[in-house]
C-alpha cells in the first residue's frame, strides 16, 4: 500500500473521498480549514463548497444525505455551536446516505475565542463521536464514520484537535469506493420532525445508543494495550501519544470512540489494574463517566484542565518528572511576539482613525480582532462570529442614543455574511441609530484566504454571483450607506464622524483588498 505524509486535515479529506463522499460543505475556521481546501484541490469529484456559515453547511450536507449521497460537513468547535440547531434534530431524523461532521476542537486556543470541549455535544445530541490520535487514524476513522452513519442511521461526529489537524504523519492511501446514490423516498415519519414523529424518533435513537455502546466495545475503535497492570491509563486523541511516550510500561485503554464510551471494556480494564488514571485534554469527560461506573480514578486532580497537554505536562502530572533544562533560565526580559496586522493591511487605516477618535468599538472575529492589541488598542468587546452588531445595539439600549454618538461596530465581509446580517436587521427594526463598519477586504483572510459569497468565486474556483454588500445593507433598511477606500484616511475620518453623528442607522463599507491577496 502506498504511504504519503499528510496533514491530519488532508488525511480527513482523503478518508471522505475514499469513502465515496459526494457532497462536502463547511465554513473556514482554524483548525479545520484545510479539509475542504484539500478536497477542492485534490478530489474534484466531490462537490465541495464554502457555505455562508456552519449552520447552512450542515443543512446542505444533511440535505445531500437525505437525498441519498454520502456527505460531509466541516467546522471548528465554535462553528458547531452555530450548527447546533440542525445538529440536534438531524440526530432525530438520522440519515439516508452517510452524514459525517468534522468538529475541530482547539485546546490551547491557538486560534480561537474559547477552549470548549465538544465531546459534551456528542453526548447532549446523542450522536456517536470518534476521536483519532494521528493523521493515519484521522483518515481511517473518517472512512469508518460513514459506515457507522449508515449502519446505525445516525449522523457521526469526528472530533479532531489542533495537534491532529495540524500535525503530519504517514497515511496509507486507498482507492475511492464507488457508492451509488441511495433511493430517496417520501418518509415524513423519519424526515419531518412534527412533534408526533419526533417522540417516536427519540425512542429509536435511545435504542440505537444501546447498540452503539456495544459497538463501542467490539468495533476495535477502542482497545486495551496490556502491559504492567500496576497502573492503567485511559486516554484519547493526541493525549494517547503522549501517554505512550512517557508511560511506556503502563497498560493503556485507548479510546477512539469517545461517545458512547465502551462501558464493558472500561469495567474489564478498571477491574484488572491496581491504580486507574485518565489522561485527557480539557474537561474530565471520560473521568466522570468512569466515576459514574463506580471506579476510583485519578484524572484532573493531576492533569491540567486548561490549555493543551504536551508530553512533558503529562510526564510531570503522572510521573512527577520535571524537565531537565540544558540551559539555565535567561534572567533578562524577552519581548513577546504577538501576532499583528500585516504591513499595509487595510484594517490598520481604520484602526488608526478609531484610535484617534477614541470611540467605543464593538469588534468581531477576524484578522481585525488584532485591532484590540497595541499599537491600536481600540476594541471594547468581541465574542463570537457576528456579535458586534447586536452588542452595538445593546450598548445603545443600555446607555442611550447619546452613547451611540461615539460608538461603532466593526465587522469583516465574511463575518457580516456569516451572522452579522441578522444583527443589522435587528438594529434597523428596533430603532437603533448606530454605525456599523463593514471592513470589506474582499476575502476571508484570517483563516488563509478563502472565497466567500462576496468574492465572486466558489471554493471549486468557479465564478459565481458576487453578493452586493451595499444593496444588502440597503435592503435591511439602512438609508445612510457610504463605501470608502480606507487608505484615504482624512476622508475616512470625516465620514466616520458624520455617520456616527447622524441619529439614524448607518453603514460604512471600507473596501480595500487584503494586502496579501493577489
Q: Which of 31, 54, 53, 49 minimizes the C-alpha distance to 416?
A: 53
Interacting residues of 16 by C-beta distance below 8 A, sequence separation 6+: 24, 39, 46, 70, 72, 100, 142, 143, 146
In whole angstroms, what is the distance from residue 174 CA to residue 14 CA? 9
Place of cell 450548527: 83
> DSSP class of residue 136?
H
Q: How far is the CB of 323 from other proteins (least distance, A)?
A: 4
Task: Answer whether 100's CB lies under 8 Å from 142's CB.
Answer: yes
List binders of other proteins among 299-318 (CB under 8 A).
310-312, 315
Chosen residue from 183, 195, 294, 335 binding other proteins by CB under 8 A: 335
119 lies in the site for other proteins, by CB under 8 A: no
Stretch that binds other proteins, among 87-95, 185-193, 319-327, 425-433 (CB under 8 A): 319-327
In whole angstroms, what is the distance from residue 217 CA to residue 76 CA? 28
Chosen residue from 448, 464, 471, 479 binding other proteins by CB under 8 A: 448
Looking at the Cβ atoms of 133 and 484, the one nearer to other proteins is 133
Alpha-carbon dihedral 258, 260, 265, 270, rounded to 10 degrees: 70
Please report, for residues 22, 51, 102, 280, the alpha-carbon distance to residue 79 in angstroms, rounded to integers and kept in the order given. 22, 12, 10, 22
List binders of other proteins among 237-296 (CB under 8 A).
238, 241-242, 244-246
Looking at the Cβ atoms of 239 and 496, the one nearer to other proteins is 239
Mask for 49-88, x = binds other proteins (CB under 8 A): ----------------------------------------
> Helix/strand/coil (H, E, C) string of 70-128?
CEEEEEEHHHHHHCHHHHHHHHHHCCCCCEEEEEEECCCCCCCCCCCCCHHHHHHHCCC
In whole angstroms, what is the distance from residue 225 CA to residue 260 CA? 20
In whole angstroms, what is the distance from residue 156 CA to residue 383 CA? 28
Looking at the Cβ atoms of 12 and 495, the one nearer to other proteins is 12
Looking at the Cβ atoms of 245 and 401, the one nearer to other proteins is 245
Looking at the Cβ atoms of 30 and 118, the one nearer to other proteins is 30
441 lies in the site for other proteins, by CB under 8 A: no
Chosen residue from 330, 462, 463, 518 binding other proteins by CB under 8 A: 330
In whole angstroms, what is the distance from residue 107 CA to residue 82 CA? 19
337 lies in the site for other proteins, by CB under 8 A: yes
Stretch that binds other proteins, among 89-97, 223-231, 336-344, 408-416 (CB under 8 A): 336-344
Stretch that binds other proteins, among 368-376, 409-417, 480-488, 499-507 (CB under 8 A): 368-376
Q: How far is the CB of 376 from other proteins (least distance, A)?
A: 10
Looking at the Cβ atoms of 14 and 190, the one nearer to other proteins is 14
List binders of other proteins among 371-400 (CB under 8 A).
373-375
Looking at the Cβ atoms of 117 and 315, the one nearer to other proteins is 315
Q: Which of 283, 321, 312, 322 minimizes the C-alpha distance to 299?
A: 283
> DSSP class of residue 416?
I
Looking at the Cβ atoms of 407 and 447, the one nearer to other proteins is 447
Q: How far is the CB of 446 from other proteins (least distance, A)?
A: 6
Task: Answer whether 29's CB lies under 8 Å from 47's CB.
Answer: no
Strand-pair partners of 7: 168
Mask for 141-180, x = binds other proteins (CB under 8 A): ----------------------x--xxxxx----------
Task: Answer whether 18's CB lies under 8 Å from 12's CB.
Answer: no
- Name the site residues for other proteins (rule: CB under 8 A): 3, 5, 30-31, 33-34, 110-111, 134, 163, 166-170, 238, 241-242, 244-246, 310-312, 315, 323-328, 330, 332-342, 367, 370, 373-375, 446-448
Amino acid at each position: 500500500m502506498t504511504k504519503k505524509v499528510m496533514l491530519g486535515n488532508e488525511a480527513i479529506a482523503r478518508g471522505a473521498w475514499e469513502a465515496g463522499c459526494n457532497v462536502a460543505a463547511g465554513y473556514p475556521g482554524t483548525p479545520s480549514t484545510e479539509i475542504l481546501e484539500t478536497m477542492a484541490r485534490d478530489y474534484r469529484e466531490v462537490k465541495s463548497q464554502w457555505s455562508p456559515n456552519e449552520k447552512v453547511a450542515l443543512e446542505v450536507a444533511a440535505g445531500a444525505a437525505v437525498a441519498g449521497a454520502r456527505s460531509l460537513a466541516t467546522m471548528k468547535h465554535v462553528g458547531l455551536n452555530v450548527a447546533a440547531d440542525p445538529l440536534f434534530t438531524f440526530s432525530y431524523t438520522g440519515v439516508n446516505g452517510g452524514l459525517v461532521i468534522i468538529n475541530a476542537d482547539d485546546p490551547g486556543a491557538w486560534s480561537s475565542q474559547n477552549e470548549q470541549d465538544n465531546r459534551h455535544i456528542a453526548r447532549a445530541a446523542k450522536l456517536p463521536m470518534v476521536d483519532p490520535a494521528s493523521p493515519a487514524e484521522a483518515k481511517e476513522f473518517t472512512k469508518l464514520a460513514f459506515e457507522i452513519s449508515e449502519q446505525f442511521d445516525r449522523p457521526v461526529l469526528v472530533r479532531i484537535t489542533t495537534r491532529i489537524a495540524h500535525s503530519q504523519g504517514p497515511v496509507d492511501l486507498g482507492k475511492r469506493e464507488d457508492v451509488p446514490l441511495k433511493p430517496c423516498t417520501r418518509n415524513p415519519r423519519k424526515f419531518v420532525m412534527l412533534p408526533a414523529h419526533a417522540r417516536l424518533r427519540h425512542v429509536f435513537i435511545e435504542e440505537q445508543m444501546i447498540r452503539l455502546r456495544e459497538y463501542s466495545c467490539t468495533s476495535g475503535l477502542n482497545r486495551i494495550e496490556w502491559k504492567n497492570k500496576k497502573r492503567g491509563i485511559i486516554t484519547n486523541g493526541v493525549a494517547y501519544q503522549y501517554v505512550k511516550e512517557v508511560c511506556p510500561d503502563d497498560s493503556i485503554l485507548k479510546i477512539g470512540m469517545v461517545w458512547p464510551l465502551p462501558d464493558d471494556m472500561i469495567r474489564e480494564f478498571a477491574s484488572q489494574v491496581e491504580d486507574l488514571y485518565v489522561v485527557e485534554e480539557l474537561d474530565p469527560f471520560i473521568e466522570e463517566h468512569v466515576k459514574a461506573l463506580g471506579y476510583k480514578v485519578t484524572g484532573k486532580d493531576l492533569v491540567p484542565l486548561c490549555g493543551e497537554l504536551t508530553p512533558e505536562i503529562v510526564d510531570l502530572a503522572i510521573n512527577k518528572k520535571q524537565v531537565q533544562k540544558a540551559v539555565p533560565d535567561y534572567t533578562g526580559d524577552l519581548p513577546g511576539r504577538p501576532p499583528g496586522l500585516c504591513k499595509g493591511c487595510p484594517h490598520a487605516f481604520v484602526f488608526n482613525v478609531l484610535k484617534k477618535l477614541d470611540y467605543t468599538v464593538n469588534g468581531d472575529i477576524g484578522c481585525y480582532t488584532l485591532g484590540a492589541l497595541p499599537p491600536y488598542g481600540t476594541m471594547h468587546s468581541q465574542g463570537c462570529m457576528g456579535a458586534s452588531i447586536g452588542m452595538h445595539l445593546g450598548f445603545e439600549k443600555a446607555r442611550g442614543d447619546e452613547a451611540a454618538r461615539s460608538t461603532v461596530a466593526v465587522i469583516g465581509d465574511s463575518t457580516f455574511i456569516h451572522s452579522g446580517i441578522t444583527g443589522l436587521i435587528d438594529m434597523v427594526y428596533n430603532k437603533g441609530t448606530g454605525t456599523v463598519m463593514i471592513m470589506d477586504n474582499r476575502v476571508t483572510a484570517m483563516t488563509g484566504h478563502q472565497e466567500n459569497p462576496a468574492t465572486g468565486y466558489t471554493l471549486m474556483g468557479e465564478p459565481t454571483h458576487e453578493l452586493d454588500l451595499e444593496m444588502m445593507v440597503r435592503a435591511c433598511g439602512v438609508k445612510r450607506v457610504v463605501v470608502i477606500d480606507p487608505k484615504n484616511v482624512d476622508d475616512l475620518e470625516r465620514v466616520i464622524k458624520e455617520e456616527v453623528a447622524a441619529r439614524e442607522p448607518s453603514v460604512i463599507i471600507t473596501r480595500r483588498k487584503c494586502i496579501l491577496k493577489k
